[in-house]
Structure 1
Amino acid sequence: MNHKNFSLARYLAIQAFYQLKQSQLSFDEVLGQFNEWHIKNISFDFNNSYDHLTFDVNKKYFNDILIKYKNDKIMINSLIDENLIDTWKSDRLPKVLYSIIRVAVTEMVLNRKLSFAIIASEYIILTETFFSKKESSFVNALLENIYKKFSK
């Protein structure tokens, strides 16, 4: 299977996590919206740059990420909070950045065999889609700390 299918699932999961945080919609409503609309229309986000490509999202992987977070939200949020430095708390992070981190940690929990190299590569690219290198360095360091503790 094409790795881009997984990358697009991650990208949409970040958007879904952000929407869950920002809206009054329930988990099931957000999941339904993404499955009915966003997955089918992801090419809209990229039309200006990539109109020659097809965008097939790994829908199962997208759903697995969201459902895993729903089922293990407390543990995933704790992993993040425990690895932030004392001066930072998750509620101080920009919401998009926090969404990226939550998706990454959820993926670590979902697929324990996934190497850190894949996680780092994917989420650095996704972070740099929205932020600067400074934030991507922060995400990389945080995810590396979580991965080391979680994979023991």
Structure 2
Amino acid sequence: MSKKSRPTSRSAARLAAVQALYEIDMVGSNTDQVLREFIEERWINIPVGEDDTITAKTLKLDNGQFTELVRGVLDRQVDLDAMINGALSDDWTTERLEVLIRCILRSAAFELLTLSESPTKVVISEYVDVANAFFTGGEPTLINGVLNKLAHVLRAAEFEGQAHGKESDTP
């Protein structure tokens, strides 16, 4: 997803999760059906790279992470929205956000909250990359700002050393 490196199966899981969450939110599709279709059919035909040289056929989807992200977001949506609302400016709520922005923020917030093996900087960078794939305006900047605020709360230990001018020893 990043311009600096090739997408990974985890990158693919993040992108697919956002797309699945968008479909579930917009159409009201059955979660199990959407998960099954992405894993068995849809992902294979999605171009992943900007120039279509990297396709889903060459980039395997991390099915476990994909499923965990989608189900986790749906199970904890109320809590995630409350966290996101706390990171938005006072006059904004998740309900006011465009659906795709909401899906990106929810998926990233869930990952920051529950998947501690994913490095914070990687999580933020990859979800900003997802936003850049869909938006050309200020949306990726908004997403980056909200995710940075969330990360400082959800993974405060990673930022403690940086506040004192040194790198944290925490991975």
Query: TM range, normalised to the smaller chain?
Result: 0.7 to 0.9
Larger Rg: 2
Aligned mates of 2:133, 2:62 — CA distance in 1: 20
Aligned-residue Cα RMSD (Å) equals 2.3
Tell me the matched-pair count.
Answer: 150
Q: Give the 3 Å change call, closer, same or farther, for CA 138–47 of structure 1 in structure 2.
A: closer
Aligned-residue offset at 1:106: 1.5
- Contiguous gaps of at least 5 residues in structure 2: 1-5, 157-171
Q: Higher relative contact order at CA 8 Å, sep ≥6: structure 1 or structure 2? A: 1
- Contiguous gaps of at least 5 residues in structure 1: none
Q: 2:45 is matched with which residue?
A: 41
Counterpart amino acid of 1:107? E
Q: 1:112 is matched with which residue?
A: 116
Contact 2:10–2:62 (CA under 8 A) maintained in structure 1: yes
Q: 2:105 is matched with which residue?
A: 101
Aligned-residue offset at 1:21: 0.8
Contact 1:13–1:103 (CA under 8 A) maintained in structure 2: yes
Q: TM-score, normalised by structure 1?
A: 0.85
Tell me whether 1:90 sits opposite 2:94 in the alignment: yes
Q: TM-score, normalised by structure 2?
A: 0.77
Aligned mates of 1:85, 1:47 — CA distance in 2: 32
1:72-110 CA deviation, whole Å, 9 max, x = no partner? 222212111222111111122111111111111111123
Q: As a proportion of its length, which structure holds more helix?
A: 1
1:95-143 CA deviation, whole Å, 9 max, x = no partner? 1111111111111123124332112211111111111352111111100
Aligned-residue offset at 1:55: 2.0
